[in-house]
Amino acid sequence: MDKNRIQELVSTFFTCDRKQLMEIFGELLSALEAEQSLPPGHLMSRNYETAQANPEIHTLPGNLKDARDAIFPFFWGTDSWQSKLHLENVKGPPNFASLVGALAALLKNPNLCVDTYCLRSNELEVKSITSLANLIFYHTQSPWGVFTIGGTISNLYGGKLGIEKVCPGAMRKGLHETKLAGIVSEAGHYSNATLAGWLGIGLQNLHAIPTDNRMSMKLDHLEKKLDELYRDKIAVAFVIATFGTTDAFGIDDIRGIREIIERKAKQYDVTAPHLHVDAAVGWVGCFLTEYDIASNPLALPKEILPLVQTMQKAAMGFSDADSVTIDFHKMGWGHYPSSAFIVNRREDLARLTRRLDDVPYFAEADFRHDPALFTLECSRPGIGPYSVMASLNGIGLNGYRLLIANAMQLALRLKEKLEALEFCKVLNFETPGPHVCWWVLPRGRNAKEIFRRFENNELTPDERQQYLKEVRRLYRKREATMDPAVDARLSFSNGIGYSPHGVTLPAWKAVFFNPQTDDAVIDRIVSSIEDVA
């Protein structure tokens, strides 16, 4: 063994060379700054075949600049969503307080599975989870939770807890002949189907409840579905409500759902389903829960105060939930992955506990503070808690309130401008979040009247299809004619979560997640629509 060569590798790759690292990091920041002056990045040439055919690995040891050169073309070819014209979906730019936290996590690289792998980083996870839980559940007594690799996995935890509640011991004994079902909203995220499949419930046993025109679960339909399942001797493991649907920011009545599932469980003498809330998008409404609307200390615009009040009332329902999914990397503007699964009562997570015999290399593990004894993952990165605590304490409670209110105001302004156009119809005018979904029809059509007839089932199937085709055609026309330097990037949803008379509603969509977006962007959206209609 050549000791000198080993030492050279250690010096190059395992010793902190501040000067060289700062130089490389400075180059990456320069590229990011240059990108901020550009319009949203279009898809660059993606040569997957070439990438697969040339998976080169250097033979000889190199240096940190070789590492930089290997990734830089892909770094430059990846959009950071810093442009104020990005309105496509529930994604915005990460804030730079989060970057400070994420860099700290990467430098120490803790694994949050057990204390010995992460030391005080585990303590930071407890602190950040408790901070979030106090926002969401409104000062719950014994919260706990973990950061996960994404909202899908967080929802998976909720589904799994439900199975363990209605089928105790399933973790070890399996389900055997138990007939299980899960209930979700028709407007819920497709990850609900993922978890039903992966947990063994099966997609055929996942029941979607129709929504009203606010994209909120119809409670009378929920009640009927529970009656139907319980009469068939099927155990309902979970009901997953949604707080802020991905397309239209629909909010389910959490408190109303709790009342129904408890009453029906008592009626049929069964264990009540686990009530999980997928709040990956909408959880930030909890920042506004204690905001004093009467004194309005932050001088929020008067036109959005009713929306703030709506958000406050809805958010109080979280106290009736058993668990919740949040994505801090969405409207917390944190870095991926910063998803969390949080339970209202700490003892619920005991249902997922492993025995120490199951994890022999974690002999020192303690359920009170070592998540590896109940988590799906063994290796869990520390970016979540570092990003969260850096952001919460950098931006602060009132800072988040201002950012969220700004997003709500921008969405409201676009809604009002679109609704003023005869040939446009906003489909989610009453939802309080930063999402806008709407129809654009050709000039000369009264979009409001057509939508009214659509909802009342007064259109023939051919008429419905004609109008829906026109909505899609005009969206494609704008896409083909837009000026990428000034026109916002919008998106198109094939179904916003509301299906009157069983007909799925497509829509144009804009989501105001970027704090840099301004009124000029909104005005240009409206003028571009007038150009294509």
Does 257 reside within a domain? Answer: yes
d(CA 142, CA 430): 34
Does 129 reside within a domain? Answer: yes
Could you give the number of structural domains in the chain? Answer: 1
Contacts of 355 (CB under 8 A, 6+ apart): none
Does 196 reside within a domain? Answer: yes
d(CA 215, CA 433): 12
Is residue 125 within 8 Å of residue 384, measured between CB atoms?
yes
Structure tokens at 171: 């973790």
Contacts of 281 (CB under 8 A, 6+ apart): 90, 243, 244, 245, 246, 249, 327, 330, 331, 433
Structure tokens at 450: 């057509």
Q: Residues 86, 92, 95, 100: what is their CA dihedral angle, to the nearest 10 degrees? A: -120
User: What's residue 102's pLDDT?
Assistant: 97
Largest CA distance in the chain: 83
Is residue 98 within 8 Å of residue 288, measured between CB atoms?
no
CATH number of the domain bearing residue 166:
3.40.640.10
Does 479 reside within a domain? Answer: no
User: 27: burial class by Cβ within 10 Å (0-12, 13-18, 19+)?
Assistant: middle
Q: Which residues constitute the domain of residue 200?
A: 101-293+318-400
d(CA 420, CA 435): 18
Does 529 reside within a domain? Answer: no
Is residue 497 within 8 Å of residue 187, measured between CB atoms?
yes
Does 366 reside within a domain? Answer: yes
List per-residue pLDDT tens for the chain, 533 residues long.
888 888 988 999 999 999 999 999 999 999 998 887 778 866 555 677 877 877 788 888 899 999 999 999 888 888 889 999 999 999 999 999 999 999 999 999 998 988 788 889 999 999 999 999 999 987 777 888 999 999 999 999 999 999 999 999 888 888 878 899 999 999 999 999 999 999 999 999 999 999 999 999 999 999 999 999 999 999 999 999 999 999 999 999 999 999 999 999 999 999 999 999 999 999 999 999 999 999 999 999 999 999 999 999 999 999 999 999 999 999 999 999 999 999 999 889 889 877 766 666 666 666 666 787 788 888 899 999 999 999 999 999 999 999 999 999 999 999 999 999 999 999 999 999 999 999 999 999 999 999 999 999 999 999 999 999 999 999 999 999 999 999 999 999 999 999 999 999 999 999 999 999 999 999 999 999 999 99
Does 497 reside within a domain? Answer: no
